[in-house]
Structure 1
Amino acid sequence: MATKAALREQILTQLNKMDQATYEKRSQVIAEQLFQEKMWQNATTIGITIARFPEIATQAIIKQAWQDGKVVSIPETDNKTKSMQFRVYEDGDELCKKALGLYEPLESAAVVPKTKVDLLIVPGVLFRTDGYRIGFGAGFYDRYLDGYQGATISLCYPEQITTTFKPEPHDLPVQKLVIENNLK
């Protein structure tokens, strides 16, 4: 069985071949599917990343959340402690680019307690249909999910679904996968 690192590299190489127009179209299809989910409709505060290619684009999702009157929060990571917290992100807020190349909120943005995030949209590279995932390798979400009580969803392309990895004891599954063109 291939290592998580090898599987991660393999799928990212495949996804990175996608052209921009295809990427935008596929991300929009997945976003529209997300908006049909009860977890989305019932949430008042969401946790979501500012995605980077080839992750499912999140800007349209964030804009829809604002239009729906939801509080949007994005993660702030601490590489020293390997921890993460979410901070409020409002239209027009300035972001800073961190060590991992992710755009994160400024420290002046209000912290959103873990108990206040209704829906966490959890990024990942590979997924099993039972919700277990291989992330990007830093472990921030694995640590954050420990003790998190809200709803969890991951967005993915069909080619990100696999059965070729076994979850580790610290891995926690997401409750729902929103798979492109799969309205289960």
Structure 2
Amino acid sequence: MKSDLRKKIKNIRNNMDITNKMNLDNLIYNRIINSKNYIKSKMIFVYVSLKEEVDTHRLINKALLDGKSVCVPKIISKDEGMEAIKINKFQDLHKSKYDILEPLNFENKVDREYIDLILIPGISFDLKGGRIGYGGGFYDRFLNYNNLHSKNIGLCYEFQIVKKVPMDGFDMGVHGIITESREMYFN
């Protein structure tokens, strides 16, 4: 069931018209920077988007300009998950063996206790905070060890929201979702 849903949503997302995607990304960006969670946050953990995901590159630069501490994921390994690494500028990121932009090393590792906003990618979300990721469990493990003060917000396009996502016992949900047309919060 998860694999079928992943395949279906990825297919739609990967075939989006580039102009439409840019317009949707702009709407999502504006919702994020005007959200109460962004405005009051001091330290943000945000994924560095791949070309088919909701764009976060502009958001990372904006957060840095706004004087927020910004940290991004750096993968340790499939078994050990990932860490939050503070960056000072977007140019601190380099392509990894996983073909994603991330810091070169673990030098500026951040204690998760200080993160107050986590922006999360996903393939699909539901209206109760359920999330289907890419299948590696990186965010599930990261969120499982997170502090109780941070807000975990999924970023997605409206078509990625379904009635119910199948979740296993180790799957971690989100506190809210931001799309091009709305913000939803669950707790």
- Band of TM-score, shorter chain: over 0.9
**Separation of aligned partners in 2, 1:81 and 1:169:** 18
- Cα pair distance change 1:101/1:158, threshold 3 Å: same
Paired amino acid for 1:169:
G
Would the aligned equivalents of 1:28 and 1:60 in 2 still touch at CA under 8 Å? no
Would the aligned equivalents of 2:130 and 2:164 in 1 still touch at CA under 8 Å? no
Confirm or deny that 1:157 pairs with 2:160.
no
Confirm or deny that 1:13 pairs with 2:11.
yes
TM-score (norm 1): 0.92
Aligned to 2:50: 52
Aligned to 1:125: 123
Aligned to 1:135: 133
- What runs of 5+ residues in structure 2 fail to find an aligned partner? none
| Helix, strand or coil at the partner of 2:162 | coil
CA RMSD across the alignment: 1.5
Would the aligned equivalents of 2:43 and 2:115 in 1 still touch at CA under 8 Å? yes
Q: Deviations over 1:105-156 (max 9, x none)?
A: 1116411111111111011010011111000111100000113121111111
Paired amino acid for 2:7:
E
Aligned to 1:173: 173
Paired amino acid for 1:91:
K
Aligned to 1:73: 71
Would the aligned equivalents of 2:43 and 2:68 in 1 still touch at CA under 8 Å? yes
Identical pairs, percent: 29
Confirm or deny that 1:147 pairs with 2:145.
yes
Paired amino acid for 2:133:
G
**Separation of aligned partners in 2, 1:115 and 1:48:** 15
Confirm or deny that 1:41 pairs with 2:39.
yes
- What runs of 5+ residues in structure 1 fail to find an aligned partner? none
TM-score (norm 2): 0.91
Q: How many angstroms does 1:18 deviate by?
A: 1.1
- Say how many residue pairs are matched: 182
| Helix, strand or coil at the partner of 1:55 | coil
Q: How many angstroms does 1:19 deviate by?
A: 2.3
Would the aligned equivalents of 2:60 and 2:90 in 1 still touch at CA under 8 Å? no
**Separation of aligned partners in 1, 2:10 and 2:183:** 24
- Cα pair distance change 1:86/1:19, threshold 3 Å: same
Confirm or deny that 1:91 pairs with 2:89.
yes
Would the aligned equivalents of 2:78 and 2:136 in 1 still touch at CA under 8 Å? no
- Cα pair distance change 1:102/1:145, threshold 3 Å: same
**Separation of aligned partners in 1, 2:178 and 2:78:** 32
Q: How many angstroms does 1:17 deviate by?
A: 1.0
**Separation of aligned partners in 2, 1:183 and 1:74:** 22
Structure 1 segments of 4 or more deviating over 3 A? none
**Separation of aligned partners in 2, 1:56 and 1:92:** 17
- Cα pair distance change 1:110/1:6, threshold 3 Å: same
Paired amino acid for 1:153:
I
